[in-house]
Amino acid sequence: MKGLKPATVASKKPVAESLKPKRTMKKEKVEKVSKKKDADAPKRPAGAFFIFMEEFRKSFKLEFPDVKSGPAVGKAGGEKWKSLTATEKAPYVEKASKRKAEYEIALKEYENKKQDCIVEAEKSVVTEKSASACEIHDDEAGQEVSS
């Protein structure tokens, strides 16, 4: 009679190794360098939907004074906006385009004013009066103007 063959344990991992938690390679997080917002810059205008929502919130509040949750108003407004035809959306789109045109004009004026202040700061020694009129908040434009 042949003898029993010994079990080959070499192919199996020891119990201790299988109980260890597996190491996962963590991906390094890439930090985004965001540009700081300038507090003096003009605010971007609302789009057509948000102009619609300004009016819709008022009418919704009159119809349903008990509903106080924001998501309910937003959901109802979104459904109403989707059901509107292009001709019904036209006044809101027109208001949005007017606001955008006003914003672009204000932005150009702001950028010109900012550029003038930068040039003025580079040309002359800044006094207390001119520093208050032309404060520079943007790090790209240079250091803050102070006396």
- pLDDT bin (cut points 50, 70, 90) of residue 118 is confident
Buried b (16+ CB within 10 A) or exposed e, 2-36: eeeeeeeeeeeeeeeeeeeeeeeeeeeeeeeeeee
For residues 49 and 96, is the Cβ–Cβ distance under 8 A? Answer: no
* pLDDT of 146 above 60: no
Which pLDDT value is given to residue 79? 95
- Region of residue 142 (left: phi > 0; alpha: psi -120 to 50; beta: else): left
List, for residues 33-78, the tens digit of each pLDDT value: 777 888 888 999 999 999 999 999 999 999 988 888 889 999 999 9
Please report where in the chains the tokens 């619609």 appear, as a residue. Answer: 52
> pTM, whole model, 2 decimals?
0.58
pLDDT at res. 119 = 81
- Per-residue confidence (pLDDT) for residue 69, from 0 to 100: 86
**What confidence tier does 120 reach under pLDDT thresholds 50, 70, 90?**
confident
| Phi, psi torsion values for 136, nearest 5 degrees | -110, 120
Alpha helix positions (H), 13-138: 15-19, 48-63, 70-83, 86-123, 128-133
